[in-house]
A and B are shown apart, each in its own frame.
Chain A
Amino acid sequence: MSDTLGGLLTIALLVALLAAVYVPYGDYMARVYTSTTHLRVERLVYRLSGVSPDAEQGARSYATSVVGFSLVSIVVLMGIQLGQAVLPMDRGLPHVPFWMSFNTAVSFVTNTNWQSYSGESTLGFAAQMAGLAVQNFLSAAVGIAIAVALIRGFVRSRSGSLGNFWVDLTRGTIRILLPISFVAAVLLVAGGVVQSFSDLTMQTLAGHSQVLTGGPVASQEAIKELGNNGGGFFNANSAHPFENPSSYTNFLQVSLILVTPVALTRTLGTMLGNRRQGLAILGVMGVLYTLTLVAATWAEVTGQGAAAQAAGAAMEGKETRFGEWASALFVASTTATSTGAVNASHDSLTPVGGGAALVNMMLGEIVPGGVGAGIYGILMMAILAVFVAGLMVGRTPELLGKKISAQQMTYVALYTLTTPALVLVGAGVAIALDPTSEAMGNSGGHGFSEVLYAFTSAANNNGSAFGGLTVTSDFFQITLGLAMLIGRLVPIVLVLLLAGSLAEQGTVPATAGTLPTHKPLFVGMLVGVIVIMTGLTYFPSLALGPIAEALV
């Protein structure tokens, strides 16, 4: 089978798989968040944590819970890293440096999973499992909770509440992420991913024996992809043969990355009672994802770049067991969602391929975006689109029966401002400082791409690294840590305040004079608004990085 046929079949199979689980999984999640009954284990959690599960929270209360929970989680996670020497199964590793522990704690709590450390040589099993893996579940559950709270804002009418954060967090973890991760981990083990509590002794080709780092990899790998976390057990992430040994596990990982963000559009439609709206949103995501996937695949497969042309193929930094097609698919999927896992070195991608990864993140992680974050991110863009173009139908803008007036626009405007400001200011300041040039792995446009990529990845909570840039200096640990923290919590608070203001409104019934938001015209309009807004924000910086490189 040729590479092209194999690559296309893989994509076709992926689409078929996602289509098959779209309805049942999406509707299941809708039921999880609308059901009024509690599981026994959940009751136990609520009793132990002192939560009254049937009490509803308003926007401020919900937001306070999320922010408080995140900050406490960061402190706990820093504590685990700083004191890992006294924890069991530390594999004799010393405590983590302070700013690295800050960066790492923020990274995992914000669902970014930017890794300034090398997994296997920095963290013991206890820190990986009790610290990072726990946050892999919880940060993903937080993301879905925010999306659900925003959907409730649209659904509810003259209501002061958005649900209960603690219930949403618990249900997301127990009813969605844990069971699927368990099944996925089993499938990964079956595919050859390592799952042990000790290092492995392997026979090398030359007949010697070599001790390789092992550990509870498969169990972490499942939630790493499912929760769009992306923080690898090993430094090499999904390029490591113990994390991702074959094209079968690679396919499984890509499926896990995409399944929840995609199915959440169904959850959106079901909860709104407007399934076509969910499909329209999925359509927008699909169009943009396809564009970047095609660009990345074309560039990698045809080797668009001076180095690739010279070498005959763009295989530098890629695993031979995946090849160009599966690497490009992984690149597009991991950056289009907020996963950030990598199965190839992004630094070695062709300019267009690396640019596609960068653009995917710059779009705001919405095609389909992170678990939950994709839904609320694209709904914010939908409000923007409705506001700009919606006026052109001759009514004050409304989305899904909710009027978008000054209060709502303030939240949306600040939301759309936050992440680009972090990226641009972060990259601008970093590039202006002398030590940065020493931290870069390359000079010229490519070196600039490394810095731009780092701040784009952090502020958008993606977590993938372009590589090349050494980010262990305190400057990068702190600035990237802050970019992740602000890039996560500020938008979340704005989304929740917006959701609260929407829930307080009544619902305007749709008439022939209402801008229909479930039809192809709106899909096209939203795609246009997202592309133009992203382009206008980042065109100058992209021109100095990937575009300058690509046009050689």
Chain B
Amino acid sequence: MTTTPSATITPPTPDPREHHTHHTHRPAAGTTVGALLAQGGQQLPEALRKLDPRHLWRSPVMFLVLLGSAATTVAAVADPGVFTISITAWLWLTAVFGNLAEAVAEGRGKAQAASLRATRTDTVARLLADDGSESEVPATQLEVGDRVVVEAGEVIPGDGDIVEGIASVDESAITGESAPVIREAGGDRSAVTGGTRVLSDRIVVRVTAAAGETFLDRMIALVEGTSRRKTPNEIALSILLASLTLVFLAAVATLAPMAQYAGAPQDVVVLVALLVCLIPTTIGALLSAIGIAGMDRLVRVNVLAMSGRAVEAAGDVSTLLLDKTGTITYGNRQASRFVAAPGIGADELRDAARLSSIADQTPEGRSVVDLALTQGADDRDLPTGATFVEFTAQTRMSGVDLSDGTEVRKGAGSAIAAWLGAEQPAEVHDIVEEISRAGGTPLVIGRKDRHGAGQVLGVIHLKDVVKAGMAERFAELRSMGIRTVMITGDNALTAQAIAKEAGVDDFLAEATPEDKMAYIHREQEGGRLVAMTGDGTNDAPALAAADVGVAMNSGTAAAKEAGNMVDLDSDPTKLIDIVEIGKQLLITRGALTTFSIANDVAKYFAIIPAMFVVAYPSLDKLNVMDLATPQSAILSAVIFNALVIVGLIPLALRGVRFRAASATSVLRRNILVFGLGGIVVPFVGIKLIDLVVSTLPGLGS
């Protein structure tokens, strides 16, 4: 062992060998048809409540549907008939279905919020006065700067930093992760969150957020959607949809006098039906649900985005700054090979290395034993009478003393040389140099017999092991146009070797917070959006500067404040998932917009001939779907228009499937599915609906 462990208790780290997808998924609300139907049923009253014009006003498209429904209702009351009443009913359903999508999306968040709220019970805080006396006050009355005492079994009353003590804390209320984490005063693990529970020991916490503004409060507001505002891209899309709506409004409104001229005056019901079919109701109805569901997907991978803007930015990111340790590499150096000194057998070195490490419980020590075993060493315990020699800062070596007086040591080359009292052989020196150059850490193995005669046996090559699958992951990102940059405190030589092995595009060696900041600014000046993770207070400026700054939940309050997302699992590889979720959100929005507009083609072919076939019999040739009667044609188009909203709710909530690939291939696929599909599907759908509708009395031929 060459380094001292940093703390006596280490927080439970995720099993490093598990792929990046290690996060405790929150129980995902089902997206199966059955589950959705159930949710739809539950949310129906909410959907009806949302018919309030003051609510629908936010979406001009749906507002127009509401106005249209009202107009046809008046017409239906004045002149009731099967056709008029059917159209009116389906127009109302169109508005309800739109609300239903939003209500279902919000409903999922509300369920999560309710479970979070349950943890925010009426906690009583033990306020610590300056003289050391304690008094009990309700948590809601805590102010920033107050100091409170929390002991084992108690709930932490508010967000704060530990100023005294160390404790293991159950944060499952927020992270869903059941394993406790260690929080201690000072350093980057001092932040605690209100609503979490102390499991052991006693800590003194200085409150950093007033009641109502705590992390838990913000989290509840976020998942509930109460703080949801339209994101920039959503606003831009809404503008486009509003202008399309106006164009169609002009087209339909002016059609009235044109039809009059053509000798085929049209009922207001028919005109409204045409208008509702044309305006982009599909995307208009699903737009907010897509946004809510996108945030929800993030919450389910345990990431809290403080704004929808950050989620969109994640889709645009073109540079990822990733910390080496724990993200790209397992974080512990591991033995990768043994290099024997001249005249020493490979087996001899292997066994000596194993012997020196059997009792060494550090990850490095265990990796030496593992490597020896894979190379065929005996799996025997330490011989009796052997004593383990621990690493100390003075000796900079560890090893074992056997009962026969033999001593085996492993350590830095200079330490072993000093122990042996002799210079290293030139060959060993060369090996040590070579390993250092390649970015590894050389551990020299030396042995003394009971007479004190010593020799160097060889060298263990320790290196940072790149996590499995990372190179492929980075290649995927590269194909999506995203550069990965490795941030490390290692020297340039070491960094370069690991960067090459991991397949990152660039690296920042011996990185200081200032270096990170400068790198981010350089990228941003070139127009690139940067995403990074961080946990320390000194990361805060860079987190704030990055377009997507993901703070680790285990990090300091300053870091969490600076970032625009918090990862509750504190897993830096999550950044890659966040980027994908951002992209998926945008793709879903674009796909449904394209689908919605493409749908209109078929609706025209259904409705226009139906409207004018009497005045211009030749227009019957446009009735390519061969719909039974003008009434059934128009009603079928309206029904399709309403049903397609319901049909697409699952897609809006789940998001369009996203595969990492170049923009060109992603676009080609989506244009084919949603553009071409959007043109073809309604032709089939309207025809099928017409087959049913035309059998109804009063609508068929």
Please give the residue numbers on chain A whose beta carbons come within 8 Å of chain B beta carbons, in ascending order: 384, 387-397, 401, 404-406, 408-410, 412-414, 416-417, 420-421, 424-425, 427-429, 431-432, 437, 445, 448, 506-509, 511-516, 519, 521, 525, 528, 532, 535-541, 543-544, 547-548, 551-552
B238 closest partner in A (C-beta): A406
A536 surroundings in chain B (CB, below 8 A): 247-248, 251, 278, 597, 600-601, 604
B682 at the interface (CB under 8 A from A): no
> In the bound complex, what is the Cα–Cα distance between A384 and B285 (angstroms)?
21
Is the beta-carbon distance between A404 and B236 smaller than 8 angstroms? yes
> In the bound complex, what is the Cα–Cα distance between A396 and B278 (angstroms)?
25
Within 8 A of A (CB), among B615-659: 616, 618-619, 621-622, 658
Is the beta-carbon distance between B481 and A515 smaller than 8 angstroms? no
Name 17 extra pairs, CB < 8 A, besides A391-B590, A509-B527, A543-B619. A388-B594, A391-B589, A392-B591, A393-B663, A393-B667, A394-B315, A395-B586, A417-B243, A424-B251, A428-B257, A448-B262, A514-B481, A536-B278, A539-B604, A544-B616, A548-B616, A551-B618
- Mark each residue of chain B from 399 to 438: 1 if its CB lies under 8 Å from any CB of chain A, else 0: 0000000000000000000000000000000000000000
B250 at the interface (CB under 8 A from A): yes
Is the beta-carbon distance between B480 and A428 smaller than 8 angstroms? no
A7 → B minimal CB distance (Å): 29
Please give the residue numbers on chain B whose beta carbons come within 8 Å of chain A beta carbons, in ascending order: 232-233, 235-237, 239-240, 242-243, 246-248, 250-262, 274, 278, 312, 315-316, 318, 478-483, 525-528, 582-584, 586-587, 589-591, 593-594, 597-598, 600-601, 604, 608, 612, 616, 618-619, 621-622, 658, 662-664, 666-668, 670-671, 674-675
B588 closest partner in A (C-beta): A391
| Dominant secondary structure at the B interface | helix
Is the beta-carbon distance between A544 and B257 smaller than 8 angstroms? no
> In the bound complex, what is the Cα–Cα distance between A511 and B674 (angstroms)?
24
> In the bound complex, what is the Cα–Cα distance between A409 and B246 (angstroms)?
15
Contact of A532 among B259, B260, B482, B601 (CB under 8 A): B601
B351 → A minimal CB distance (Å): 51
Is the beta-carbon distance between A406 and B236 smaller than 8 angstroms? yes
A394 surroundings in chain B (CB, below 8 A): 315, 480, 582-584, 586-587, 658, 663, 666
Is the beta-carbon distance between B590 and A506 smaller than 8 angstroms? no
Is the beta-carbon distance between B621 and A551 smaller than 8 angstroms? yes
Is the beta-carbon distance between B612 and A544 smaller than 8 angstroms? yes
B674 surroundings in chain A (CB, below 8 A): 392
> In the bound complex, what is the Cα–Cα distance between A548 and B589 (angstroms)?
37
B598 surroundings in chain A (CB, below 8 A): 532
Sample 11 A-B pairs with CB under 8 A, ordered by A number. Answer: A391-B586, A394-B663, A396-B315, A406-B239, A429-B254, A511-B482, A512-B662, A519-B664, A535-B601, A548-B262, A551-B622
B526 surroundings in chain A (CB, below 8 A): 509
If A387-B236, A512-B662, A519-B664 touch, whether A428 touches B258 (CB-CB below 8 Å) is yes
If A413-B239, A424-B250 touch, whether A547 touches B622 (CB-CB below 8 Å) is yes
If A393-B587, A394-B583, A394-B587 touch, whether A516 touches B663 (CB-CB below 8 Å) is yes
B687 → A minimal CB distance (Å): 19
| Dominant secondary structure at the A interface | helix
> In the bound complex, what is the Cα–Cα distance between A305 and B183 (angstroms)?
86
> In the bound complex, what is the Cα–Cα distance between A437 and B260 (angstroms)?
13
A547 surroundings in chain B (CB, below 8 A): 619, 622
If A391-B587, A507-B527, A514-B663 touch, whether A405 touches B233 (CB-CB below 8 Å) is yes
A486 → B minimal CB distance (Å): 14
Residue from the set B590, B593, B664 with the largest chain A CB neighbour count within 10 Å: B590
> In the bound complex, what is the Cα–Cα distance between A414 and B239 (angstroms)?
9
If A389-B590, A421-B250, A540-B255 touch, whether A521 touches B618 (CB-CB below 8 Å) is no
Is the beta-carbon distance between B251 and A405 smaller than 8 angstroms? no
A423 → B minimal CB distance (Å): 9
> In the bound complex, what is the Cα–Cα distance between A405 and B255 (angstroms)?
33
- For the complex of A and B, 8 pairs with smallest distance between CB atoms: A391-B590, A513-B481, A428-B254, A511-B481, A394-B583, A413-B243, A432-B257, A512-B481
Is the beta-carbon distance between B254 and A424 smaller than 8 angstroms? yes
A158 → B minimal CB distance (Å): 10
A393 surroundings in chain B (CB, below 8 A): 587, 590, 663, 666-667, 670
> In the bound complex, what is the Cα–Cα distance between A512 and B256 (angstroms)?
49
Contact of B593 among A391, A448, A543, A544 (CB under 8 A): A391
A240 → B minimal CB distance (Å): 33
B270 → A minimal CB distance (Å): 12
B670 surroundings in chain A (CB, below 8 A): 389, 392-393
> In the bound complex, what is the Cα–Cα distance between A26 and B663 (angstroms)?
30
A524 closest partner in B (C-beta): B671
If A513-B482, A541-B251, A543-B612 touch, whether A552 touches B663 (CB-CB below 8 Å) is no
Is the beta-carbon distance between A396 and B586 smaller than 8 angstroms? yes
> In the bound complex, what is the Cα–Cα distance between A420 and B604 (angstroms)?
18
